[in-house]
Amino acid sequence: MTAIDPRIVGTWRMKSTAGRDDAGNILPPPYGPVAMGLVVFQADGRMMAVLCDGRASLPDGEPRQFMSYAGNYSFDGTTLSTRVDASSDASRVGGDQVRSVRFENGLMVLAPPRRLYAGIMQHQELAWERITR
């Protein structure tokens, strides 16, 4: 088994989210204006993530964004790849969730590949603060 980079190991709380379109225009933040999330990376290569819109109530007709998944991960210092074996979205099971990773100002910033959401190609970044090692 390959050693896990210790910079990623621990429990992390979502600190902020940001989204932009292909032209660089700011989009509504992923998981709403009060995003909540926890991600845990164990030293044995196992992880789990839970993310949601944390507002107490939503405007009528607006669905609550929610995602959770778990699996075995690898991290080479810049790219995180998780082979999903459990997810709130069954279409993710058996696939890989890939994120670019950078560490800045005490935060871990994860950026998934650009994706189509609500009819717009989006570039997202989620910043996480470590709460335990």
| pLDDT tens for each residue of 5-56 | 999 999 999 999 999 999 999 999 989 999 999 999 999 999 999 999 999 9
pLDDT at residue 118 in the model:
76
Q: What single-letter DSSP state applies at residue 92?
A: G
Q: Degrees (nearest 5) of the Cα angle 45, 1, 111?
A: 40
Mean pLDDT of 74-81: 96
- How many residues are recorded in the chain? 133
Which residue has 């650009």 as its token pair?
114
pLDDT at residue 117 in the model:
77
Alpha-carbon distance 115 to 122, whole Å?
A: 5
Q: Among residues 132, 133, 126, 100, which one has the least CA distance to residue 37? A: 126
Helix or strand or coil: residue 4?
coil
The pair of structure tokens assigned to 17 is 């989210």
Q: Describe the chain by its helix, strand, coil percentages, rounded to 5.
A: 0, 60, 40
Q: How confident is the model at residue 1 (pLDDT cuts 50, 70, 90)?
A: low
Q: Please name each of the domains of the chain with its CATH number.
A: 10-132 (2.40.128)
Mean pLDDT of 48-69: 96
Q: How confident is the model at residue 119 (pLDDT cuts 50, 70, 90)?
A: confident
pLDDT at residue 2 in the model:
66
pTM comes to 0.91
Per DSSP, the residues of 40-79 read EE-TTSEEEEEEEE--SS--TTPPPPEEEEEEEEEE-SSE
Helix or strand or coil: residue 96?
strand
